[in-house]
Amino acid sequence: NWWMQGNMEPTASLSILALLLLGLSQAVPLMETQHVDITRNILTINNGSRELLVEGDIVLPRTRNALVCPSNNCFWKKSSNGLVLVPFTVSNDFSTSDRSVIAGAMATFHSKTCIRFVSRTFEADYLSIQSRDGCYSAVGRQGGVQVVSLSRNGCVYHGIAQHELNHALGFYHEHTRSDRDRYVRINWANISPTMQYNFNKENTNNLNTPYDYSSVMHYGKTAFSINGQDTITPIPDPSVPIGQRVDLSAIDIKRINILYNC
- Mention every residue, 6+ apart, whose C-beta is less than 8 A from residue 210: 23, 24, 25, 26, 27, 28, 251
User: Three-state SS for 59?
Assistant: strand
Q: How far apart are CA 165 and CA 120, in angstroms?
A: 16
Q: How far apart are CA 223 and CA 8, in angstroms?
A: 31
- Residue 55 among the catalytic residues: no
Q: How far apart are CA 177 and CA 243, in angstroms?
A: 15
- 35 known member of a binding site: no
Candidate list 9, 32, 123, 164, residue with the active-site label: 164
Residue of 76, 63, 39 whose CA lies nearest to 170: 76
- 218 known member of a binding site: no
- 175 known member of a binding site: no
Residues in the annotated binding site:
163, 167, 173
Which of the residues are catalytic?
A: 164
Residues in the annotated binding site for Zn(2+):
163, 167, 173
